[in-house]
Amino acid sequence: MTADSSAAAQIREARTSLGIEFGSTRIKACLVGEDPSVVLAVGEFEWENQLIDGRWSYALDDVWAGLAAAYAALADDAETRYGLRPTTFGAIGVSAMMHGYLAFDANDELLVPFRTWRNTSTGPAAAELTAAFSVNIPLRWSIAHLHQAVIDAEPHVAAITTITTLAGYVHWKLTGERVLGVGDASGMFPIDDAARGYDSALVATYDRLVGDRAPWQLADLLPEVLPAGRPAGVLSTQGAALLDPSGVLAPGIPFCPPEGDAGTGMVATNSVAPRAGNVSAGTSIFAMVVLERPLAAVHEELDVVTTPAGDPVAMVHCNNGASELAAWVSIFRRFADAAGQPVTADAAYAALFTEALDGEADAGGILAYNQLAGEPIAGLDEGRPLVVRTNDSRFTLGNLMRAQLYGVFATLSLGMSVLDEEGVVLDRMFAHGGVFRTAGVAQRFLAAALGAPVSVAETASEGGAWGIAVLASFAASGGTQSLADYLQGHVFRGATFTVVEPYPDDVTGFASYLDRYRAGLAIERAAAASL
């Protein structure tokens, strides 16, 4: 039997798992077979957030149009490769950007436009909750968004009956089940490590804090929490029509718990066991480090979330990742078009990243600030993308591109230094995301920024869509072993990783860059105040 006919049989007989992830710039669908490490088909749809009334948002109509388009592209890919369109799957999983705020009333109507993780208007709420809980509550957490609405006495607060995340919303509409994977839930409200559910003592603290300012109790608003491996409902008839408007896909397919992009990133890099960590680079960039013990202190640079299995994780989250870098690549692609020498996106990234390797170790004195949005770790309420140089900086293409890549990792490096102070030990650090598709470049500069070896797997660019497909496979297996054992034994046993050690010159050069970067943050604040 050929490889293609074997894959076709798996698709025909539903020995497959479908993962769908709503990223910040792409909705991606990924199909895996009996061996979850093998990707059978993919599909994607590009989308963008909008600034609505001063808040970052995505329209719910775009959620469903994008989901159907990404699924149709996957079905087309499967038909092209194997000669048939899927009619069913063994399991499905949904993942999306964590945090944010989707609030619904008793008629399941959205009360205010979706407020994403990118919004930084929740400062008073986050500060009050952090003080009340003695747990760091970041600006982007769902509870911070809810409490800011309470503080501001927004009219919709009295009508809320449900709040959820984007993954929770999509899962609910596809299955009818209002549930969340524990990893995604940990970005809504603090989790009790022992109970693997919301911290009931802090829920009670919150209800006392709100008092008579709202007619509800928090526990009634939050989705049910499920760890990885648990069944989480099945595809409804209405859900099948949303996912595949052509009507080919049959209802009744089991779902795994919906997860956040941080959790699927951990799965995609085999980073769910203590002393493992991963970096996910996209529109935002964040590091996840699985903890052996609780942190000794509360740090505003760190929030404690969980793996999809419910184990505690220290998260360093930066609102701004590779979007500004992508904008510069687009400029150079347009120049190539204008010059009559068009290049693909992959070719442009490869050429510009390779040029960065020829740049000076400290980027020649050039600074690149990638802040499109506010950046709490850097103390920035608003962002303004900037390239800054002195009159003696060496302004070359190599230095410019190295500065841009260093800029992607600079704020992350500031946050990771807090983990060093806590004495957190890492055995391995993995990385994934599209920025690592050009072999050895972004990976090398990340190693310099962290001062540690960085590993990238062959599946790195598939990212969270593949990670949630693996979680769906785990649920389909019955979840009879730990998630860490399942990943090690069934998914990564033959995986190939490329490991890059820090280059001494890069480490020294990045440290010099970061010193200038810190000093230049005042320029960012001035730009935000002036422009």
End-to-end alpha-carbon separation of the chain, Å? 64
Average pLDDT of 42-59? 93
Read off the DSSP letter of residue 254.
Answer: B
Q: What is the pLDDT of residue 338?
A: 98
> Three-state SS across 291-325?
CCCCCCCCCCCCEEEECCCCCEEEEEEECCCCHHH
Q: What is the pLDDT of residues 434-468, one digit of tens each?
A: 888 888 899 999 999 998 899 987 654 567 899 99
Q: How far apart are CA 118 and CA 50, in angstroms?
A: 11
Q: Which residue has the higher pLDDT, 146 or 418?
A: 146
Q: What is the pLDDT of residue 510?
A: 98
Q: How far apart are CA 493 and CA 106, in angstroms?
A: 48
**Is the pLDDT reported for residue 4 higher than 80?**
no
261's enclosing H/E stretch is helix 261-268
Q: What is the pLDDT of residues 353-387, one digit of tens each?
A: 999 999 999 999 999 999 998 898 898 989 999 99
**This model's pTM is above 0.85:** no
Q: What is the pLDDT of residue 429?
A: 87
